[in-house]
Structure 1
Amino acid sequence: MARYSMGFLVALALCACMLSALAARDLTDDSSTIARHEQWMAKYGRVYSDAAEKARRLEVFKANVEFIESVNAANDKFWLEANQFADMTNDEFRATHTGYKLPVGGSKGQKMTGFRYANVSLDALPTSVDWRTKGAVTPVKDQGQCGCCWAFSTVASMEGIVQLSTGTLISLSEQELVDCDTSDNGCGGGLMDNAFEFIVQNGGLTTETNYPYTGTDGTCNSNRASSSAASIKGHEDVPANDEASLQKAVAAQPVSVALDGGDDLFRFYKGGVLSGDCGTDLDHGVTVVGYGVADDGKKFWVIKNSWGTSWGEDGYIRMERDIADKQGLCGLAMQPSYPTA
Structure 2
Amino acid sequence: MASYSQGLLFAILACACVLTTLAARDLADDWSIVARHEQWMAKYGRVYSDVAEKAQRLEVFKANVVFIESVNAGNNKFWLEANQFADITNDEFKAMHTGYKAPVGGNKGRKTGFRYANVSLNALPASVDWRTKGAVTPIKDQGQCGKCCWAFSTVASMEGIVKLSTGKLISLSEQELVDCDVDGMDQGCEGGLMDNAFEFIIDNGGLTTEGNYPYTGTDGSCNSNKESNAAASIKGYEDVPANDEASLQKAVAAQPVSVAVDGGDNLFRFYKGGVLSGDCGTELDHGIAAVGYGVAGDGTKYWVMKNSWGTSWGENGFIRMERDIADEQGLCGLAMQPSYPTA
- Normalising by structure 2, report the TM-score: 0.97
| Structure-2 separation of matches of 1:92 and 1:263 | 12
Q: How many residue pairs get matched?
A: 339
Check conservation: 1:136, 1:169, Cα contact below 8 A: yes
| Alpha-carbon shift at residue 257 of structure 1 (Å) | 0.5
Kindly report which structure 2 residues correspond to 1:115-126, keeping only aligned pairs within 5 A, or say none.
115-126=114-125
Choose 75-84 or 7-16, whichever is displaced more.
7-16
The residue number in structure 1 matching 2:139 is 140
The residue number in structure 1 matching 2:177 is 177
| Alpha-carbon shift at residue 187 of structure 1 (Å) | 0.4
Check conservation: 2:103, 2:109, Cα contact below 8 A: no
The residue number in structure 2 matching 1:277 is 279
Q: Quote the sequence identity (%).
A: 82
Check conservation: 1:262, 1:283, Cα contact below 8 A: yes
The residue type paired with residue 287 of structure 1 is A
The residue number in structure 1 matching 2:72 is 72
| Structure-2 separation of matches of 1:28 and 1:21 | 10
The residue type paired with residue 61 of structure 1 is F
The residue type paired with residue 243 of structure 1 is E
| Structure-2 separation of matches of 1:51 and 1:3 | 53
Whether 2:237 is the aligned partner of 1:206: answer no
| Alpha-carbon shift at residue 17 of structure 1 (Å) | 1.4
| Alpha-carbon shift at residue 111 of structure 1 (Å) | 2.4
Q: What do you get for the CA RMSD once the two structures are aligned?
A: 1.3
Structure 2: 5+ residue stretches without partners: none
The residue number in structure 1 matching 2:224 is 222
The residue number in structure 2 matching 1:22 is 22
The residue number in structure 1 matching 2:61 is 61
Check conservation: 2:107, 2:242, Cα contact below 8 A: no
The residue type paired with residue 317 of structure 2 is G
Structure 1: 5+ residue stretches without partners: none
Match 2:292 to one of 282, 290, 293? 290
The residue type paired with residue 339 of structure 1 is P
| Structure-1 separation of matches of 2:171 and 2:47 | 33
The residue type paired with residue 79 of structure 1 is W
- Normalising by structure 1, report the TM-score: 0.97
The residue number in structure 2 matching 1:307 is 309
The residue number in structure 1 matching 2:152 is 152
The residue number in structure 2 matching 1:86 is 86
| Alpha-carbon shift at residue 77 of structure 1 (Å) | 1.1
The residue type paired with residue 245 of structure 1 is S
The residue number in structure 2 matching 1:39 is 39
The residue number in structure 1 matching 2:128 is 129
Check conservation: 1:44, 1:84, Cα contact below 8 A: yes
| Structure-2 separation of matches of 1:11 and 1:91 | 47
DSSP 3-state at the match of 2:176: helix
| Structure-2 separation of matches of 1:10 and 1:245 | 71
Check conservation: 1:102, 1:108, Cα contact below 8 A: no
| Alpha-carbon shift at residue 92 of structure 1 (Å) | 1.1
| Alpha-carbon shift at residue 104 of structure 1 (Å) | 5.0
DSSP 3-state at the match of 1:24: helix
The residue number in structure 1 matching 2:111 is 112
The residue type paired with residue 122 of structure 1 is L
Choose 222-231 or 15-24, whichever is displaced more.
15-24
| Structure-2 separation of matches of 1:312 and 1:268 | 8
| Structure-2 separation of matches of 1:297 and 1:104 | 38
